[in-house]
Structure formats: C-alpha cells, structure tokens
C-alpha cells in the first residue's frame, strides 16, 4: 500500500483564526501542481483531509483531477494534534493508495512515525510517497518526493 502525505499550499497570513486561513493565489497554484503530479504518477483511491480551510482548498485541486475518488475529513490531523493517534486512525482506512492532506508539524511527525526516522519539515504543498505492507510505526519506506514551486 501507499500513503501519500501532502502539506497544504501557501496560506494567507494569520489575520483570521488558524482554522479559517485561506490559500493564497500562489498556494492554489502549488496545490494544482502537486495534485497534477500525484494523480499523473499514482492512482489515489481515497483522500483524507484536515477540517481546516487551507487543507480543504488543497484537496479541492486533487478532487478536480480525480472527482470519483472518495474522501473524508479526519478531525485529528490539524497542526497540533497527536501524530500517533492520527496514524492509528489513518491505518484503519481501507485503501491501496491513500492521500492525506494536512499541516506542519503533524505531517512531518506522521512521516517520521511511518519510517521510524526523525521528523523532517515539509515544504509548502510537498507530497511524500511512502510504501508499506501495512501501516505500522517504522514499517514504511519513502519512495518519492514532489515539491512544487516555492515562494522564495
């Protein structure tokens, strides 16, 4: 099975509550680049997304390219949630190629749990592909990364 972890695209400054922050125009472009790459090279059969607006907007780029792929909101993949509990919930999903759209720092912690390595920061809208027989701490191998255009 494959799990593809994706960080949301560039979001606006914190002028509103964190959960309501929107993607910038550049963030929308990043999300589209990442969605195009992932859906061209992989065949996602399920999407999981954070309830936060910027993650939902990032997922929308994936759904535009794979409109028949089912999705659900997972409430415990927001920035400060517990990665171990989130990974246990992710492990319960039946999928061969699962895309998870969420945030720093939880996305880095989930990646670290999957491989058994120290968490490494994700770029904006970065996708990392992990392959494993089953979801369990330390059982995955990272096989690919995609980083879209960055703002610097």
Task: Give me the DSSP letters along the chain.
Answer: -EEEEEE---B--SSS-GGGPPBPHHHHHHHHHHHHHHHHH----EEEE-SSHHHHHHHHHHHHH-TTS-EEE-TT-STTS-HHHHHHHHHTS--SEEEEEE-TTHHHHHHHHHHTSPP-PPPTT-EEEEE-SS--TT--EEEEEE------
As a whole number, the mean pLDDT across the chain is 96
- Stretch 20-33: mean pLDDT, rounded? 97
Higher pLDDT, 14 or 65: 65
pTM (predicted TM-score)? 0.97
Q: So what's the pLDDT on residue 124?
A: 98
> What pLDDT digit, counting tens, does each position of 73-117 carry?
999 999 999 999 999 999 999 999 999 999 999 999 999 999 999
């Amino acid at each position: 099975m494959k799990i593809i972890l994706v960080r949301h695209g560039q979001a606006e400054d914190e002028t509103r509550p964190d959960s309501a922050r929107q993607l910038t125009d550049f963030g929308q472009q990043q999300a589209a680049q990442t969605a195009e790459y992932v859906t061209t090279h992989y065949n996602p059969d399920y999407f999981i997304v954070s309830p936060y607006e910027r993650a939902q907007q990032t997922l929308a780029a994936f759904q535009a390219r794979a409109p028949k792929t089912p999705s659900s909101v997972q409430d415990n993949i927001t920035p400060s949630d517990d990665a171990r509990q989130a990974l246990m919930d992710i492990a319960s999903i039946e999928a061969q190629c699962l895309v998870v759209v969420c945030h720093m720092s939880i996305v880095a912690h989930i990646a670290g749990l999957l491989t058994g390595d120290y968490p490494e920061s994700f770029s904006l809208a970065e996708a990392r592909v992990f392959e494993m027989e089953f979801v369990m701490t330390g059982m995955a191998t990272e096989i690919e990364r995609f980083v879209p255009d960055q703002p610097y």
